[in-house]
Structure 1
Amino acid sequence: MEQCPGGFSSASSIEALCTLLSNAEEEEEKERLYSSLVVNPGDIGPLNPEKKALQKDLSSKEIWDILEVPEGSEFDDTSDQREQPKYEILFKQKVGSEDIFLGMSRKDPSTVCCEDLVVKIQLPNTKASDISLDIRRKFLDLRTPKYKLGLHLPHPVNEKTGKAQFKVDTETLELTLTMVRDFDFINFS
């Protein structure tokens, strides 16, 4: 048998060296982790949240990571029998004559170029003083004595800026919320 350049002559001597250099506790932890992770074709690509959580901390008793719980889930109440009002979600963009006639900006009619999210909620037989409204980054919670709406928004919004207007003649609450997106500095420059 030919001797290796490092002075090792067999596989058993390499294994013996690995055993000397490795930490036994780390090896046991790795073995326990990998034995609990069952690999199947669905595991190609990034790990799913359960397996990520298992990798992060095996001793933790928590079953949900804070990022896995959808925003607004604290408002879900299945025993509440109030009806859900009709609503409509629209996108709004600010354009000027230089956009429409001259095409000087990179704006187009798509929602990518919209700055605001408009939510119109029909609330028949409701007074403006009866409305309770809570707006989060990706969730809208509206409650009245007769209606309840928990709406997951299609885009994150700035919860500190926005407008709410109740139109008495049509009994409609109109919310204009400013959208927050990572690449707005590219779209609106």
Structure 2
Amino acid sequence: MPRLHVLVLPGWQNSGPRHWQSRWEALYSDVRVEQSDWMHPLRGDWMMRLDEAIGELEAREESPQVALVAHSLGCQLTAGWAAHSRKTGRVRAALLVAPPDVERDEVRGVLHSFTPIVRQRLPFPSLAVISTDDPFCALDRARGMAIDWGSQVLEVRGRGHLNADSGLGDWPEGRQLLADLLRNPAAGN
């Protein structure tokens, strides 16, 4: 079986050193898909960069397989990219953590290119982890996006935006969720 590459897809403003995504890079050698502009994101540019990252893997090895680990705006990136890319067959599964509501008035200006939210079913298994008190997305909106994407949904209580401020540390539970999803991808679809 081809080697599995875990690609980390941070959200708006990137993930800092205390964020579980950054910790996973250090612990497991996951690879961050670097964007050219973390502060003024453009969906098309971000989608192109994800396509390039997978293309770089294809140039180095035959039939690479990828797991996407998205947080916040990285979830919206995954949905938009999957609706247009020809490289989706490389993705074995996606862990989508804390998808934000980019259609809210207070973020619509800076995240304008990520609206409307892409709500097509993802062509690969996925698990959406959503918090009951995420300040960037009401629970019903997060649940609705996940259902539209065909994702399995896991609701966690009182973890905010599931980021560094949520006290997750290395978030071993999240890593186990990814491992379970990869072991049994049918459960995520």
Could you say which TM-score interval applies, normalised by the shorter chain? under 0.3
TM-score in terms of structure 1 length: 0.22
TM-score in terms of structure 2 length: 0.22
